[in-house]
């Protein structure tokens, strides 16, 4: 049994991870400021420290004695990073540096490994398809720049301070518990709820933008595998399926599953929005011996019912 710190553990991805770790018999401490996280997401057996990941005192308090850190706390909305540039930068980049710094001496003065969330947003307007990890990074948003900054600081964490890290460039993650209630939420959570209720959906742009949608159950499996494998150096992997889905295709599948037709309202494309985002999962597969297991149909069905598939 190990003891892990999960930052952002009351959020969408972090809470599924915390469930899995507790289910595997580990001890879990969560550090979350509850800005988008929810108390009902917290596993009963997890300890919650309410605090800011960019506050060194809060991080030091939460990290003491852990065997490893899963760092997921961030403002996950690209749109939000446009509106609240400096504020999201503080959480998304300074917060990560604060976690890396605290990880230097978390266990009896020695470093512990950190598995953290980067993002496909680091590729920005690079039009290569599929995107490999060695493709040029050209982020378009403050969010993407900060995630790239996390990866660069991870190099420092290892080379200068001996903190081993594994970063995952998550593509578009979806699944049960993703909050549909704000315009900043992931598109699948918003569309799933609206189609199920027979309400109009808003499409920013023509709807032909393409994403690589990854089910949260796959994300959790790779996060855990990365910690079990022990991070080595400062590695970065795409976490993706390699399969393209346009927003219009997504809407079609959701309408089929819900046996419902809804109206599409179009608004101008969002500034800094990426047109095509498809990852190459080859490095992920080669290193971890498998790729993503869940297909879009299975993942969307689970999202609609709210039940996690086994
Ligand atoms: P989420 O908003 O559900 O979870 C983020 C959690 O971090 C929330 O519980 C929130 O309260 C917490 N948090 C935010 N600011 C904080 C702060 N200053 N201090 C402490 N806690 C704070 O989002 P998510 O989709 O679960 O995202 C998890 C991670 O994955 C984030 O790092 C995000 O950038 C990254 N990511 C998500 C996606 C996706 O498609 N959902 C894709 C790429 C990367
Ligand atoms: C998402 C993640 C981000 C992650 C990135 C990695 C969220 C909120 N954001 O960003 O954390 O780093 O993937 O690839 O999960 N759209 C509509 N109508 C809507 C909502 C969205 O048309 O009601 C469009 C957007 O303009 C965009 C696409 O759907 O073109 C996807 O948007 P969104 O789910 O917000 O994700 P990304 O911006 O791709």
pLDDT exceeds cutoff 90 at 306: yes
The confidence score (pLDDT) of residue 36 equals 95
Contact of 14 with 70, CB cutoff 8 Å: yes
| Per-residue confidence band for 46, with pLDDT thresholds at 50, 70 and 90 | very high
Ligand 1, atom 1: closest residue by C-alpha: 11
Task: Tell me the mean pLDDT in the region 67-73.
Answer: 98
| Per-residue confidence band for 181, with pLDDT thresholds at 50, 70 and 90 | confident
Active centre residues (catalytic): 143
pLDDT exceeds cutoff 90 at 272: no
pLDDT exceeds cutoff 80 at 159: yes
Counting ligands in written order, the one closest to the CA of 278 is 2
Query: How far apart (Å, rounded) are the C-alpha atoms in residues 197 and 188?
Result: 14
Q: What is the pLDDT of residues 120-133, one digit of tens each?
A: 999 999 989 999 99
| Per-residue confidence band for 150, with pLDDT thresholds at 50, 70 and 90 | very high
Atom of ligand 1 lying closest to residue 13 CA = 26
Atom of ligand 1 lying closest to residue 120 CA = 43
Residue 111, judged by CB atoms within 10 A of its CB (0-12, 13-18, 19+), counts as middle
Best mutation site among 150, 172, 268 for ligand 2, i.e. most ligand atoms within 8 A of its Cβ?
Answer: 172
The pTM is what?
A: 0.97
| Per-residue confidence band for 174, with pLDDT thresholds at 50, 70 and 90 | very high
Q: 274: which 2 tokens?
A: 């990426």
Atom of ligand 2 lying closest to residue 207 CA = 22
Q: Is 14 in the pocket of ligand 1 (CB under 6 A)?
A: yes
Mean predicted lDDT score pLDDT of the chain? 96
Q: What is the pLDDT of residues 228-265, one digit of tens each?
A: 999 999 999 999 999 999 999 999 999 999 999 999 99
Mutual orientation of helices 95-103 and 56-63 as an angle, nearest 10°?
A: 40
Tell me the domains of the chain and their CATH numbers. 3-174+213-240 (3.40.50.720)
Query: How far apart (Å, rounded) are the C-alpha atoms in residues 151 and 141?
Result: 16
The confidence score (pLDDT) of residue 185 equals 86
| Residue with the two structure tokens 């609240």 | 84
pLDDT over 90 for what percent of the chain?
95
Q: Strand, coil or helix: what is 47? A: strand
Contact of 121 with 274, CB cutoff 8 Å: yes
pLDDT exceeds cutoff 90 at 184: no
Distance from residue 232's CA to the centre of ligand 1 (Å): 24
The confidence score (pLDDT) of residue 183 equals 76
Query: How far apart (Å, rounded) are the C-alpha atoms in residues 22 and 1?
Result: 10
Counting ligands in written order, the one closest to the CA of 170 is 1
């Amino acid at each position: 049994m190990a003891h892990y710190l999960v930052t952002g553990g009351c959020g969408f991805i972090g809470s599924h991870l915390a469930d899995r770790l507790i289910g595997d018999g580990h001890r879990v401490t969560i550090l979350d400021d509850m800005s988008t996280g929810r108390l009902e997401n917290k596993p009963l057996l997890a300890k919650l420290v309410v605090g800011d990941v960019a506050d060194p005192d809060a991080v030091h308090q939460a990290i003491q004695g852990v065997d490893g850190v899963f760092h997921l706390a961030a403002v996950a909305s690209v749109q939000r990073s446009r509106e609240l540039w400096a504020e999201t930068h503080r959480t998304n980049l300074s917060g990560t540096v604060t976690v890396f710094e605290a990880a230097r001496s978390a266990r009896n003065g020695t470093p512990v490994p950190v598995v953290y969330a980067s993002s496909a947003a680091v590729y920005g307007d690079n039009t290569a398809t599929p995107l490999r990890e060695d493709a040029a990074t050209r982020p378009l948003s403050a969010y993407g720049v900060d995630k790239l900054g996390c990866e660069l600081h991870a190099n420092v964490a290892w080379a200068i301070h001996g903190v081993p890290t594994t970063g995952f460039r998550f593509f578009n993650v979806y699944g049960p518990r993703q909050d549909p209630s704000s315009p900043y939420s992931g598109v699948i959570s918003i569309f799933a709820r609206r189609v199920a209720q027979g309400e109009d959906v808003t499409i920013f742009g023509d709807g032909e933008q393409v994403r690589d949608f990854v089910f949260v159950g796959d994300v959790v499996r790779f996060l855990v595998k990365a910690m079990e494998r022990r991070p080595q150096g400062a590695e970065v992997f795409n976490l993706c399926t390699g399969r393209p889905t346009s927003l219009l295709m997504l809407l079609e599948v959701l309408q089929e599953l819900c046996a419902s037709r809804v109206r599409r309202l179009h608004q101008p494309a969002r500034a800094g929005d990426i047109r095509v985002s498809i990852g190459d999962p080859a490095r992920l597969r080669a290193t971890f011996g498998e790729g993503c297991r869940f297909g879009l149909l299975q993942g969307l069905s689970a999202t609609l019912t709210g039940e996690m598939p086994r």
